[in-house]
Amino acid sequence: MANGIDDKIKLSAEILAKSKNAVVFTGAGISAESGIPTFRGEDGLWKKYDPEEVASIQGFRRNPRAFWEFSMELMKNTSAEPNPAHYAIAELEKMGIVKAVITQNIDMLHQRAGSKKVYELHGSIEKLKCLDCRKEYSWEDFSDLLQNSDIPKCKHCGSYYVKPKVVLFGEPLPSTVLYQAIEESRRADAFLVVGSSLVVYPAAELPYIAKSNGAKMILINAESTVADHIFDVVFYGKAGEILPKIVEEVKRIKSRI
């Protein structure tokens, strides 16, 4: 395993440049660099909030207002934009190296950075849906929500069980998306994990699937994970600083081929 940062960048770039089917897997750490709070860790949101009350399907059914108060606070406190790590991943896709992005994030920053093939394991905040009548809405349908601190009410059936199309604790991952993510992981010959603690299952199983099928493994994370031992290259640091350097090195390698 490479030790120095420059050696790690070169080795990572060589892995990606030689790959035919690179896949990227991202977690909350990449979005944290855009100002979105993480949930776990020393300053994670679950230190301040009870996830059972504000982020579980059972809690939402009991008290949708608690969920919305928590969600509105998050949305008011961030004006997140894609950061250099998001743009670097999108650039690798444009170069034909990255074939898919699998993300645990719901913020759509990958798409805004230019990534086209994104599998959202936990859904996204793009749309809302009524749990009772299944009618879908755009945020514009409740444009006054942030201003009046009210909670959305379904305009079709009158239910207060309207929520973003995100996966809460106690809900299954979308089966089709999970199946596609597993298949992408099986096909990967290079698997790059960015900003994930790799403790939330079944998503955390994907790197092991890639590894067991022969993929070269790269990890970029702020701190160590329980799965560090399965990676060929491990970086501890900011993805927004490391990934652009890897992309530049990939370009240099490609220019020589």
pLDDT tens column, 58-111 = 999 999 988 888 877 766 655 789 999 999 999 999 999 999 999 999 889 999
Q: Reply yes or no on whether the pLDDT at 41 is more than 70.
A: no
122 is catalytic: yes
Options 86, 122, 156, 229, the catalytic residue: 122
Percentage above 90 pLDDT, the chain: 69
pLDDT at 200: 85
Q: Averaged over 209-219, what is the pLDDT?
A: 98
Joined together, the tokens standing for residue 215 give: 């993929």
Which positions ≥6 away from 13 have C-beta within 8 Å? Answer: 246, 247, 249, 250, 252, 253
pLDDT tens-digit profile of 166-176? 999 899 999 99
Give the pTM.
0.90
Strand order in the sheet with 123-130: 136-138, 123-130, 162-166
Residue-averaged pLDDT of the chain? 90
Residue with tokens 């290079």: 190
Q: Which residue has the higher pLDDT, 36 or 73?
A: 36
